[in-house]
Amino acid sequence: MTISWSRTNDGKYWDFRGVSASYLVHGMHPYPARMHPHIARTLIARFGKSRSGIVDPFCGSGTTLVESLLAGFDSYGIDLNPLALIVSKAKTTLVDPDDVSDLVLQSTRLIKRSKTHFAVTPTGDQSKILKFWFKRRVLSQLLALKEELQSSELWHSRYKWLFASCLSRTARAVSNQRPYEFKAYRLPKELRQKHNPHVPKVFEGIVLQSISRQLEFYLEFQRQNRDRNPSSEVLLADSRTSYFRAVADLVITSPPYGDSPTTVNYEQFSRISLMILDIPRRDFGWTRERHQKVAHESVATDSLTRRVMAKLGVVDAHKARVLGRNFDSLWRSISSMTQLLKGGGVCCVVLGPRTVRGVTIPTPDIVSEYADQFSLKRLDCISRNIPRKVQPWRNNSGRTIDNEKILIFSKLR
């Protein structure tokens, strides 16, 4: 079966130019390389009919999960990044309108208490890092707020994730981190001097905005799900390992293109939030696993992977080895995605080609080659121009991703 749509079912183009990617809870917390929600929405509308579980093994900020809930499907997300788990859970835990006035009251009280609370700033190595990222006054306000939040009832309720996500967003906003930059870069000195945020005020604004987004989401969820009650689960785990077998009818995902200087670095993006939330740093960068064994099958002699690595190897041998480990991770992920799917299930993978040291890495073709090794039959490949993004369009390695492919496979029965 070949579907070959150049347009979506409702006659619109896949670029979704001019269509907001931040409606309802989607814009609740920034996250790098978010999928446009209309991609998930359109794929669910096309393949979700009469199907049950939808899985996103690289769920990031939970775009697929939110759209699954709206469309009435149970969904499961997996991600290695604790911040992804927090944000996904914050978005998919619906706020009951009856709880809103209490949530606002409790948060107002804790903000007030934090203003008279004296938080002891850490000493030693941690203090050096914190002082690099925060001004002294800002840090003490932020720690006071965190301590008040963590000792409040809210932290022990189902809304813990919502408030953890608000604290994470606040920490980013008040830190010396450059806004709209996903890598860990400090504001230049002159901007740092002018940057004097009032932490309680910033947090209050973020809480109110998040609750209001949640309320809109609740109303839309109710409207779409009159006789259904879909749910969502998120698991902190490594998707290169297969945990489940034949549980999903539909997989919709955008895997990482590789944590490298030419792509998104999720660890750097999450660093400030995880530090403030006291979540120990953990290495979830694919390329950092220097001793990771490369599966023989992922670099078969006559494969495209081998040819691309050889081409890059001429320019930069080290980068070619790193890329090899990236490819291997991708191969393992496709293998475990195949196992997640039931026979006849559909798998949609969104990714783009990238450039390393001027060499084009045809990631979508490589994924198609891997899928061929498993029992995945390619149904379609849709091209999509990316109209807007946070990363620059060019960097030292050449052009960054400006288009992506939506690859659609079905698992043979």
> For residues 14 and 286, which CB has a smaller minimum distance to ligand SAM in the complex?
286
Which CB atom, from 63 or from 177, has the smaller least distance to ligand SAM? 63
Given phi > 0 = left and psi -120 to 50 = alpha, else beta, which region is 137?
A: alpha
Which residues within the stretch 207-266 sit at the binding site for ligand SAM (CB under 6 A)? 238-240, 254, 256, 266
Q: How far is the CB of 42 from ligand SAM (least distance, A)?
A: 14
Compare residues 135 and 384 and give the one whose CB is closer to ligand SAM: 384
Cβ distance 146 to 167 under 8 Å? yes
At a CB cut-off of 8 Å and minimum separation 6, what does 242 contact? 335, 336, 339, 340
Q: Is 63 in the site for ligand SAM (CB under 6 A)?
A: yes
Contacts 24+ apart (CB under 8 A), 311-316: 311/359, 312/356, 312/357, 312/359, 312/361, 315/357, 315/358, 315/359, 316/356, 316/357
Closest C-alpha among 366, 291, 286 to residue 334: 366
Q: Does 336 bind ligand SAM (CB under 6 A)?
A: no
Q: How remote is the C-alpha of 126 from its chain's centroid?
A: 26
Number of H helices, E strands in the chain: 13, 11
The span of 33-41, 44-52, 100-108, 193-201 binding ligand SAM (CB under 6 A) equals 33-41
Contact 248, 342 (CB under 8 A): yes
Q: How many residues touch ligand SAM (CB under 6 A)?
A: 21
- DSSP reduced 3-state for 74: coil
Q: Does 34 bind ligand SAM (CB under 6 A)?
A: yes
**Binding region for ligand SAM (CB under 6 A) out of 54-62, 125-133, 174-182, 383-391:** 54-62
80 part of the interface to ligand SAM, by CB under 6 A: yes
Residue (202 or 322) nearer to ligand SAM, CB: 322
Regarding 81 and contact with ligand SAM (CB under 6 A), the answer is: yes
Contact between 78 and ligand SAM (CB under 6 A)?
A: yes
C-alpha 257/C-alpha 206 separation (Å) is 30
Contacts with ligand SAM, residue ranges (CB under 6 A): 31, 33-35, 58, 60-61, 63, 78-81, 84, 238-240, 254, 256, 266, 284, 286
